[in-house]
Amino acid sequence: MSRARIEIESKTMAAMVALYCRHHHDMHTGLCPECQKLMDYAARQLEHCTFANEKPVCSQCTIHCYSVGRREQIKKVMRYAGPRMLMYHPFMAIRHLIDKFRYSISTSLLTQKTR
């Protein structure tokens, strides 16, 4: 995965975790220890993504790179922060939606070619 793509994904994840932590753990600056551990784990997993430049958004990924417990934590954070990202981080949210749409289009085109 290119450095730019990793950084974009990492910044989006950090914004989502920070938003969740601020609203659930009353953290106004930084992250609580639990959320910091989750963010560190997510950053490590992202750094080792198998898809490299072709990485889909996590919700459309075919490989689950998070352990079961961490996957549930990430889902909880994303379910909460995802809809609120448009209000708090509109550019990140729009970029994420474009990436999701772009991946859906490319997947459907590949499916049509193989038929």
Q: What is the pLDDT of residues 50-105, one digit of tens each?
A: 776 667 777 777 787 889 999 999 999 999 999 999 999 999 999 988 888 877 76
Q: What is the dihedral of CA 49, 36, 18, 78, to 10 degrees?
A: 50
Q: How far is CA 39 from the centre of its chain?
A: 11
Q: Give pLDDT, residue 3.
A: 66
pTM of the model: 0.82
Q: Give pLDDT, residue 115.
A: 53
